[in-house]
Amino acid sequence: ETGTTIWETREAARADVFRYVEVEYNRSRLRQHPDYGYVTPLETRSMLGQNLVPAA
């Protein structure tokens, strides 16, 4: 839930946000649009690095 955590240090907050973005958001959230091929942001980045386009 947004806005319910109070961190003791700025470093702890940064680590928690980084963990959320890299682990939960980029690896599990599907991009809900046919142009992106319904893949996660991490998969999109991987395909772009290989010069591939997601199948529509």
Per-residue pLDDT of the chain (56 residues; tens, 9 = 90+): 557 889 999 999 999 988 888 777 766 666 666 666 777 777 777 777 766 555 55
Single-letter amino acid code for the residue at 34: P
Name residues whose C-beta falls within 8 Å of residue 41's C-beta, 6 or more positions apart in sequence: 25, 26, 29, 31
Q: Pick from 45, 39, 42, 46: which is nearest to 56 by CA? A: 39
Look at the pTM and tell me if it is higher than 0.85.
no
Q: What is the pLDDT of residue 43?
A: 76
pLDDT at 46: 77
Q: How does DSSP assign the chain, residue by residue?
A: -TT----SSHHHHHHHHHHIIIIIIHHH----SGGGTT--HHHHHHHHHTT-----
